[in-house]
Amino acid sequence: MLPAPNRMNNAEYWARRMVILHTALEDRGLEYIHNLETQFDRAAASIERDISVWYQRYADNNAISYAEARKRLTAGELKEFRWSVKEYIRRGQESALDGRWVKELENASARMHISRLDALKLQLQQQAEVLHGGQLDGLDALLRRTYADGFYQTAFEVQRGIGTGWTLHGLNEGTVGKALSRPWTTDGRTFSGRIWANRDALVRSVNTHLTQAIIRGDGARGAIDAVMRDMRSSKSNAARLVMTESAALASAAQKDCFNTLGVERYVIVATLDSITSDVCRDLDGKVFRMPEYAVGVTAPPFHPWCRTCTAPWFEDMAGLGERASRDPATGKTVTDVPKDMKYPEWKEKYVTQETLKKPYAFAIIGVRTSTGAIVQSVAGHFEDSMDKRGFSIAEVIDALEHPLHVTETVIDARGRPSQQFIGVRATVVYNSVDNTAVTGWLTGEKRIKKYGGVSSENTT
């Protein structure tokens, strides 16, 4: 089924296909980073505001002595402080805030005395906690999707490449969950452990630099500048984390897929250009046996921001499909995969039912809406509300891609910007700043008529 059946061209063919696939997965990571940077910038703006308000309140001539900063809040200020802590706790209960932090907030709210400086530190830490809780949700969704797409699309490329297909079991929660919780670096940390470590580092450096700025008598501007430097370096750590963890999940997906398909060897494929690292330049073209596949050691990523991927290595490509057809234990039915078969068609034909947690999130993250936005995440209760109303994934995607009408963005009761994508069947509520699908409901008959759609009840 390949243009030229000699071995050299085969190797080039696989390398090219796998690089294209890998680049598409990388692009999704880059899109997510863009979203993450917006979140960092927003948190930085809040922090800047908090610090200036605090200085306005306590500083004379824009500078505050360390002794002044350590004075206790007055009874009135303490009451006000407790009120905002209560608000933080409430927010923590509806989002993915670390349980340890919520406990700390509860303790803080019970304290009889608190210094001005500690009150400010707690306020700033809340910003860091919210920021990182959001990252945990967003990165979890991105990595799940990277793994699943990496797995299926690799299988598609391999079966189409050898021209032979057989049925594969759809991924289930166990497989994806295992891939996500499998540490691949020597420190044994998973991506969530890394996010919390980044948060701890940010909180520590903000506290240190804020205290030092006050001791130096820097004034509000100096203190803000010091903290903004911490925010910038935390932002770049977060971006690196996203790219490196998604590269690791893409690599793990290729490993699991090659093993499932019976691929026996793989080859390292580095993108060779002026910024390719020495390690990747040296490993490019090296062939390994599948049992040797170890993410981060004999398989990418080999370093942060690594763009290297792997491709299957066949001495005799035709052998793979033949082996599958001869395997009496699996009873696989082998059929021809035409060269021009498209991915959705292939998936429909060769992948059996998948049982994944968050199936809607899997399907809609990465969808480009009719307004040009790219969906980056879904709210915690989105799955439940869609499932309860019995929408198919296609109906939800249709509402986002081809809505009858999109409403103007309005600010809801909780201060969040939201907009409705009114589809033929589903209406999806969308936060256009976070690019998050929030909830949804059945589009009413009146609205269908109003926006010129044909009611789904009248179609077959």
Chain positions contacting Zn ion, by CB under 5 A: 277, 280, 302, 306, 308
Using the structure block, give the residue that is written with the tokens 């824009």: 62
Q: Are 358 and 411 in contact (CB under 8 A)?
A: no
Q: How distant, in Å, are the alpha carbons of 11, 36, 59, 201 from that of 205?
A: 49, 20, 23, 6
Q: Which is nearer to Zn ion, 306 or 422 (CB)?
A: 306
Q: Which is nearer to Zn ion, 155 or 270 (CB)?
A: 270
Q: Which is nearer to Zn ion, 277 or 409 (CB)?
A: 277
Minimum distance, C-beta of residue 277 to Zn ion, in the bound complex (Å) = 5
Q: How distant, in Å, are the alpha carbons of 44, 58, 59, 115, 230 from that of 62?
A: 21, 9, 5, 19, 22
Q: Which is nearer to Zn ion, 280 or 448 (CB)?
A: 280
Give dist(CA 378, CA 428) in Å, integer.
11
Q: Which is nearer to Zn ion, 277 or 298 (CB)?
A: 277
Minimum distance, C-beta of residue 425 to Zn ion, in the bound complex (Å) = 45
Residue 186 phi, psi dihedral angles, 5° rounding: -70, -20
Q: Does residue 448 sit in helix, strand or coil?
A: helix
Give dist(CA 362, CA 372) in Å, integer.
19
Assigned token pair, 186:
């020597």
Minimum distance, C-beta of residue 184 to Zn ion, in the bound complex (Å) = 15
Minimum distance, C-beta of residue 342 to Zn ion, in the bound complex (Å) = 31
Q: Which is nearer to Zn ion, 92 or 150 (CB)?
A: 150
Minimum distance, C-beta of residue 101 to Zn ion, in the bound complex (Å) = 35
Burial of 67 (0-12, 13-18, 19+ CB in 10 A): exposed
Q: Are 96 and 139 in contact (CB under 8 A)?
A: no
Give dist(CA 395, CA 411) in Å, integer.
26
Alpha helices in 188-317 (DSSP H): 191-216, 219-261, 278-283
Minimum distance, C-beta of residue 15 to Zn ion, in the bound complex (Å) = 15
Q: Which is nearer to Zn ion, 133 or 300 (CB)?
A: 300
Give dist(CA 270, CA 110) in Å, integer.
56
Q: Which is nearer to Zn ion, 241 or 280 (CB)?
A: 280
Minimum distance, C-beta of residue 269 to Zn ion, in the bound complex (Å) = 11
Minimum distance, C-beta of residue 248 to Zn ion, in the bound complex (Å) = 12
Q: Which amino acid is at 329?
A: A
Minimum distance, C-beta of residue 185 to Zn ion, in the bound complex (Å) = 15
Q: Which is nearer to Zn ion, 65 or 277 (CB)?
A: 277
Q: Which is nearer to Zn ion, 132 or 307 (CB)?
A: 307
Minimum distance, C-beta of residue 152 to Zn ion, in the bound complex (Å) = 24
List of E strands, 323-425:
335-336, 377-378, 405-406, 410-411, 417-422
Q: Which is nearer to Zn ion, 164 or 308 (CB)?
A: 308
Q: How distant, in Å, are the alpha carbons of 143, 204, 358 from that of 129?
A: 21, 12, 24
Give dist(CA 32, CA 158) in Å, integer.
28
The answer for residues whose C-beta is within 8 angstroms of residue 208's C-beta and 6 or more apart is none
Minimum distance, C-beta of residue 287 to Zn ion, in the bound complex (Å) = 17
Residue 126 phi, psi dihedral angles, 5° rounding: -55, -40
